[in-house]
Structure 1
């Protein structure tokens, strides 16, 4: 028997209203709920713990306004904030999806005799290729990758820690990748920057 928590149900409803993806809005605490709370906490300048602290509950009731990384960006776009490890997808100029992400670890890596730098480059890009399912590559499996810069993609992953940890791609929680794939089409602009340096 699953016991639902009416307070948690309200939390999930507020997260969904604010364009985070808590998974099913059913009052059951899941990994998806925690990851959505990380996104809310990051957006509001809080430490991403996933705990329902007083500050987190205040942020749910009175959230910070989403400030664009790119002031004159396209009305439909993806913004990836390397500083906060946060992604915002805009449709018609408004946030449609906000998610915690994990970007390049900013270190050298070597896998199967091939080495490279785990960096997510800053810049303005466009989606040039999408794969509607799992794709296996030499660096591992990616779910619904959306490529925007030479082999670097937004993609679903089972490992999306609270810190930069990828080989350069932008990892999103697995459950969020389906929604992301529905929103982000070919030729969609993708902006990557740091909130402390953009403007």
Structure 2
């Protein structure tokens, strides 16, 4: 597609600008994306007029556009929790996970750049292949993959260990599990799945967009509830950067 100079668009009269926009939409041409925000990295995704025309969605939004977003994220294997037209916490974390994988600003807001990336997304692949389910924590992207047979079947927002208490990298299996809250010396863990000593993949009420834990891999509590029946003792766990 040929980019359209913003200088050409900016000097048109309003009526002419609208006519040009309609012509571009029909032609499928794109408007160059705005400069990257200082709040975080972006992929430089080209924003089409179709993406720019979508409503900006954030936590608290409702309606058909939210259902469209949830349906698309679900098709891409992000853990939305269900399509109900309500932009709640699970949808927020799914959007953040998508933004992490696609190198976008991790703000949980679905604006033109995120809409555009949803049309041409990065499709992650697991690093390891198992016939059954396995869990992979990508510490660089701060996401957790549930994989099976060489494909990622679910993508969860995650927060691993901060610099002072890093999450150990390596290949392990789930060794023990607790079905409920565990009060550890460093805080509460929901349904922890221990893979190495006291390190676990567990649910937490706080899952920031950056590494913030004491070494475990945190995921949202509702996401852990949906993950709980899929993994078990012996499930492979791979932690890498």
User: TM-score with structure 1 length normalisation?
Assistant: 0.85
Structure 1 residues 126-135 or 169-178, which shifts more?
A: 126-135
Q: Which structure dedicates a bigger proportion of its chain to helix?
A: 2
Are the structure 2 counterparts of residues 130 and 179 from structure 1 closer, same or farther at C-alpha, using a change threshold of 3 Å? same
- Residue 176 of structure 1: SS of its match in structure 2? helix
Deviations 1:94-128 (A, max 9, x none): 21210110000121xxxxxxxxxx12001111110
- Residue 146 of structure 1: SS of its match in structure 2? strand
- Residue 78 of structure 2: SS of its match in structure 1? coil
Deviations 1:115-144 (A, max 9, x none): xxx120011111101111211122111111
- 1:40·1:59 contact (CA, 8 Å) conserved in 2? no
Are the structure 2 counterparts of residues 106 and 3 from structure 1 closer, same or farther at C-alpha, using a change threshold of 3 Å? closer
Structure 1, gaps ≥5 residues long: 108-117, 195-199
- Residue 203 of structure 2: SS of its match in structure 1? strand
Q: Quote how far apart the aligned CAs of 1:59 are.
A: 2.2
Counterpart position of 2:157: 100
Counterparts of 1:17 and 1:3, CA distance in 2: 20
Counterpart position of 1:132: 179
Give matches, 1:36-185, under 5 Å.
Answer: 36-68=94-126, 70=127, 72-75=128-131, 76-107=133-164, 118-185=165-232
- Residue 95 of structure 1: SS of its match in structure 2? strand
Structure 2, gaps ≥5 residues long: 1-59
User: TM-score with structure 2 length normalisation?
Assistant: 0.71
- 1:15·1:22 contact (CA, 8 Å) conserved in 2? yes
Q: Quote how far apart the aligned CAs of 1:191 are.
A: 0.7
Counterpart position of 1:110: none
- 1:79·1:191 contact (CA, 8 Å) conserved in 2? yes
Counterparts of 1:4 and 1:98, CA distance in 2: 23
* Alignment pair present for 1:7 and 2:69: no
- Residue 99 of structure 2: SS of its match in structure 1? helix
Counterparts of 1:192 and 1:47, CA distance in 2: 24
> How many residues are aligned here?
181
Q: Quote how far apart the aligned CAs of 1:19 are.
A: 1.5
Larger Cα-atom Rg: 2
- Residue 106 of structure 2: SS of its match in structure 1? coil
RMSD over aligned Cα atoms: 1.7
Deviations 1:35-65 (A, max 9, x none): 1100011111212111112221122222212
- 1:127·1:189 contact (CA, 8 Å) conserved in 2? yes
